[in-house]
């Protein structure tokens, strides 16, 4: 007898269930009508003998003897399915640790911190945006998430400007970018002919650069006639001014008075820090009211001020090791009410010094007289190595005028393009040249002293060269500044991700794979070489929290400000975008292409295939295209070729032909690759097919080795193509993870640029 069961509790199917015995002449729809059920009050699945049946087919399926029809209500809750969302969220959190560890192993991340960070990213993004092959960028990036204790001078709009970021790494710029360079040494000022000059040394970054323009805020430096600049290439020497100059903080405008005024020496003050030596001391003297005496007639008469400065050697503990020596006995005579400011420099023998100063003539306290004498600063020019190493510097000498304010002097920025060596198979590495290449930025990260310090044999340079040709053709570039502390792997991943690629470690060599359209599988896997009971398919079903579009944050090269663009597929409403930051992208078309790609991958790549095989599982690597045939999801029919008598193939398994359809067979070659698909027709029995075209090799049908495997089906249904996301050896077995490929992922970003 047939039986119908209506289950009201999907978590406990044996509880709260109604059982019915229908007549065998009913269809599913007509039986429901007899029960006055035109529509279920809750979303409900219909299962016939355990197989789901669509609502549109209920009127055509007759309830026969021994048939079991089940109606199962889906989990519900207040607020439109909150319970279901909670269950799915729990599933994501449970799965994330395993997914994160697997992804970390695939990418070569082995540290506990690295694995935990990847796990956190999977857990966060799992409910919004999915891409099993090329993980989506994190919503946080150097554009929006910077170290608040020492913010990026370029990406942090609130702190944009020149800074002395002590303890932070020297910036490393790739591609073309604006940069607010850090101070390479403490800025200082001097007076020349009563004019004040500011000296600033800036570090543009590691390596060599093509400096396109230098600006003060948004204005080119050429608009400021009072600024002189010098660009110092790597290992060069600054000639515009002394770079290692320290200013003693204790001297800050003290007035110098004579013994006749009842005062004595000002000081002593230490001029240079412990464990440093100076060979030049500089004193800033200022007469803020000018130097004059106002006559009864209104004219100004001369006045004179005189003073002495002295210095003596001290050790690192501040104990004097020598006697005082007079550096200078200075005199100024003038009749001007304009402020007078001068810098006096005194060469000394190398050492650490303390200094003092005193006025030697009495001050005229008359209201008609201007002769105040102030000691504004003392500076020590240190003895140091002027070679700053493999960095590019910018030296600026700026005259203080109304045209150049104190604030604007700290808004120096440059638009630069990094120079990097470029590799090819014939000539090897070139001399550094301006480039925005993703490939050679990756190579620099791996080879440089501030990077992984790898030699060429540890890097797949041929793959990088091939990828560079693709990126150049597409117009994909990387333009970003690394000015925060991060690992080599983090930097490498961010650069590669800008080109839709990932790096992975294989056999001690850094390799790269880009997510691009592939048509030729490198291996065929079927029940013949998949270990029994290891085949698993995960369907990642979209839900209410699944993104339907992607908002890409990028740093716009037109405005040099953060920008964003939302990319959605043609039939998407774009009502629930996922926001990602694509660090290194500075072009709107590039950002749109990547957004469309991520949206397509999120929609079309939701079938994850995992299985175990023997050592032939080591043939594919991360990102390779493989063919998978299996009878469980009805992905073709598979077996061995037991005999070959052209044009007939005798098969180990029976195959089924359908009238009016074209049937194809693919064959696995000895090296694991596939041959075909080849058009076939029915043979003399259900274990034989006839080849309708000549194949390109002779199948092996003997007993000395594995016979040639086959996969058979209608059209392209002989199997599915899948992209490898993980290869993990397990003794004599290999576990392969993959995601079923879909050509729509690669056609979605074909936009006109």
Residue 459's pLDDT is 93
Is residue 704 in a domain? yes
Residue 127 binned pLDDT confidence (cut-offs 50, 70, 90):
very low
Is residue 520 in a domain? no
Nearest one of 373, 383, 379, 371 to 251, comparing CA atoms: 379
Task: Report pLDDT digits (tens) over 312-365.
Answer: 999 999 999 999 999 999 999 999 999 999 999 999 999 999 999 999 999 999
- Burial of 266-294, coded b for 16+ CB within 10 Å and e otherwise, reads bbbbbbbeeebebebbbbbbbbebbbbbb
**Is it the case that residue 85 has pLDDT exceeding 60?**
no
Is residue 496 in a domain? no
Q: Which residue has the tokens 């001068």?
A: 342
Extract long-range pairs of 410-413: CB within 8 Å, 24+ residues apart.
Answer: 410/161, 410/162, 411/160, 411/161, 411/162, 411/180, 411/216, 411/217, 412/162, 412/180, 412/181, 412/200, 412/202, 412/214, 412/215, 412/216, 413/178, 413/179, 413/180, 413/181, 413/214, 413/215, 413/216, 413/217
User: For residue 357, what is the domain's CATH number?
Assistant: 2.60.120
**Is it the case that residue 512 has pLDDT exceeding 80?**
yes
Nearest one of 220, 631, 553 to 414, comparing CA atoms: 220
168 and 94 assigned to the same domain: no
Is residue 519 in a domain? no
Is residue 138 in a domain? no
179 and 289 assigned to the same domain: no
Supply the pTM of this predicted model.
Answer: 0.73
230 and 259 assigned to the same domain: no
**Is it the case that residue 80 has pLDDT exceeding 80?**
no
52 and 100 assigned to the same domain: no
106 and 202 assigned to the same domain: no
107 and 168 assigned to the same domain: no
Domains in the chain, number: 5
Could you give the percent of the chain with pLDDT greater than 90?
A: 42
Task: Report pLDDT digits (tens) over 355-404.
Answer: 999 999 999 999 899 999 999 999 999 998 878 889 999 999 988 876 66
Task: Please give the DSSP secondary-structure letter assigned to residue 109.
Answer: -
Is residue 714 in a domain? yes
In the numeric block, which tokens belong to residue 595? 């957004």
Nearest one of 177, 178, 220, 216 to 200, comparing CA atoms: 216
88 and 164 assigned to the same domain: no
Does residue 12 sit in helix, strand or coil?
A: coil
Nearest one of 555, 362, 573 to 565, comparing CA atoms: 555
377 and 403 assigned to the same domain: no
Nearest one of 43, 44, 41 to 4, comparing CA atoms: 44
- SS3 track for 141-193: CCCCCCCCCCCCCCCCHHHCCCCCCCCCCCCEEECEEEECCEECCCCEEEEEC
Is residue 228 in a domain? yes
48 and 65 assigned to the same domain: yes
Residue 346's pLDDT is 96
Task: Report pLDDT digits (tens) over 51-61.
Answer: 888 888 888 88
* Phi, psi (degrees; rounded to nearest 5) at 470: -65, -45
In the numeric block, which tokens belong to residue 479? 């333009």
Residue-number span of the structural domain to which 53 is assigned: 3-74
Query: Contact 189/429 with Cβ under 8 angstroms?
Result: no
Rounded CA-CA distance 618/625 in Å is: 13
Is residue 207 in a domain? yes
In the numeric block, which tokens belong to residue 342? 């001068």
Q: Which residue, 331, 366, 382, sits at the end of a domain?
A: 382
Q: Which residue, 74, 91, 115, sits at the end of a domain?
A: 74
How far is C-alpha 718 from the chain's CA centre? 39
Residue 116 binned pLDDT confidence (cut-offs 50, 70, 90):
very low
User: For residue 35, what is the domain's CATH number?
Assistant: 3.10.20.30
In the numeric block, which tokens belong to residue 553? 């944050």
Rounded CA-CA distance 486/145 in Å is: 13
67 and 93 assigned to the same domain: no
Rounded CA-CA distance 334/194 in Å is: 13
Query: Contact 711/637 with Cβ under 8 angstroms?
Result: yes
Please give the average per-residue pLDDT across 72-101, as a whole number.
49
In the numeric block, which tokens belong to residue 647? 């044009």
119 and 189 assigned to the same domain: no
Residue 108 binned pLDDT confidence (cut-offs 50, 70, 90):
very low
Query: Contact 644/701 with Cβ under 8 angstroms?
Result: yes
Task: Report pLDDT digits (tens) over 561-601.
Answer: 999 999 888 888 878 888 888 999 999 999 999 999 988 88
643 and 712 assigned to the same domain: yes
Q: Which element (helix H / strand E) includes 467? A: helix 461-474
């Amino acid at each position: 007898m047939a039986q119908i069961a209506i289950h009201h509790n999907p978590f406990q199917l044996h509880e709260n269930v109604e059982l019915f015995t229908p007549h065998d002449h009913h269809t599913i729809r007509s039986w429901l009508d007899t029960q006055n059920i035109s529509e279920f009050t809750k979303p409900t699945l219909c299962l016939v003998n355990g197989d789901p049946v669509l609502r549109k087919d209920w009127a055509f399926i007759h309830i026969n003897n021994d048939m079991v029809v089940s109606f199962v209500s889906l989990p519900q809750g207040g607020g439109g399915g909150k319970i279901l969302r909670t269950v799915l969220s729990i599933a994501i959190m449970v799965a994330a640790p395993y997914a994160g560890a697997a992804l970390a192993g695939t990418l070569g991340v082995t540290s506990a911190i690295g694995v935990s960070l990847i796990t956190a990213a999977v857990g966060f993004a799992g409910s919004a945006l999915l891409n099993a092959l090329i993980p989506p960028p994190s919503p946080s990036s150097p554009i929006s998430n910077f170290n608040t204790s020492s913010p990026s001078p370029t990406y942090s709009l609130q702190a944009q400007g020149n800074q002395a970021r002590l303890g932070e790494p020297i910036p490393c710029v790739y591609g073309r970018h604006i940069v607010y360079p850090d101070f390479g040494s403490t800025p200082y000022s001097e007076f020349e002919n009563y004019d004040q000059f500011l000296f600033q040394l800036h570090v543009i970054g590691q390596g060599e650069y093509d400096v396109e323009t230098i600006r003060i805020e948004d204005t080119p430096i050429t608009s400021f006639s009072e600024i002189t600049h010098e660009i110092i290439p790597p290992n060069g020497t600054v000639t515009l001014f002394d770079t290692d100059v320290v200013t003693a903080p204790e001297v800050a405008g003290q007035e110098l008075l004579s013994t006749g005024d009842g005062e004595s020496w000002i000081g002593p003050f230490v001029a240079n820090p412990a464990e440093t030596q100076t060979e030049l001391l500089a004193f800033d003297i200022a007469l803020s009211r000018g130097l004059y005496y106002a006559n009864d007639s209104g004219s100004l008469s001369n006045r004179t001020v005189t003073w002495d400065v002295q210095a003596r050697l001290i050790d690192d503990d501040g104990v004097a090791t020598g006697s005082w020596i007079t550096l200078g006995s200075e005199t100024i005579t003038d009749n001007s009410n304009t402020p007078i400011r001068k810098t006096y420099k005194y060469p000394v023998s190398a050492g650490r010094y303390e200094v003092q100063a005193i006025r030697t003539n009495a001050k005229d306290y008359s209201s008609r007289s201007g002769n105040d004498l102030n000691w504004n600063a003392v500076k020590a020019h240190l003895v140091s190595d002027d070679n700053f190493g493999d960095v590019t510097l910018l030296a600026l000498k700026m005259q203080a005028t109304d045209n150049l304010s104190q604030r604007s002097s700290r808004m120096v920025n440059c638009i630069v393009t990094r120079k990097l060596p470029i590799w090819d198979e014939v000539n090897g590495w070139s001399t550094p040249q301006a480039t925005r290449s993703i490939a050679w930025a990756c190579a620099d990260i791996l080879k440089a002293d501030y990077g992984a310090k790898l030699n060429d044999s540890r890097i797949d340079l041929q793959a990088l060269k091939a990828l560079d040709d693709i990126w150049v053709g597409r117009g994909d570039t990387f333009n970003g500044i690394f000015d925060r502390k991060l690992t080599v792997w983090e930097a490498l991943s961010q650069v590669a991700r800008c080109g839709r690629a990932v790096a992975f470690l294989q056999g001690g060599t850094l390799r790269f794979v880009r997510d691009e359209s592939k048509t030729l599988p490198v291996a065929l896997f079927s029940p013949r070489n998949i270990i029994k009971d290891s085949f698993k398919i995960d369907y990642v079903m979209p839900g209410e929290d699944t993104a339907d579009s992607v908002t890409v944050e990028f740093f716009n090269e037109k405005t040099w400000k953060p920008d964003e663009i939302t990319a959605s597929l043609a039939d998407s409403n774009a009502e629930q975008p996922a926001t990602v930051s694509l660090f290194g992208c500075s072009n709107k078309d590039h950002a749109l292409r990547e957004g469309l790609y991520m949206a397509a991958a999120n929609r079309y790549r939701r079938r994850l295939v995992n299985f175990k095989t023997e050592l032939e599982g080591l043939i594919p690597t991360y990102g390779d295209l493989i063919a998978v045939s299996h009878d469980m999801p009805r992905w073709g029919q598979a077996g061995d070729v037991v005999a070959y008598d052209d044009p007939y193939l005798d098969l180990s398994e029976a195959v089924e032909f359908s009238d009016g359809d074209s049937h194809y067979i693919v064959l696995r070659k000895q090296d694991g690759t596939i041959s075909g698909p080849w058009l076939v027709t029915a043979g003399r029995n259900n274990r034989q097919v006839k080849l309708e075209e000549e194949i390109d090799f002779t199948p092996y049908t003997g007993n000395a080795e594995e016979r040639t495997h086959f996969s058979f089906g209608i059209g392209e249904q002989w199997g599915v193509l899948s992209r490898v996301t993980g290869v993990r050896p397990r003794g004599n077995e290999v576990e392969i993870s993959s995601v079923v490929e879909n050509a729509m992922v690669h056609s979605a970003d074909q936009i006109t640029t």
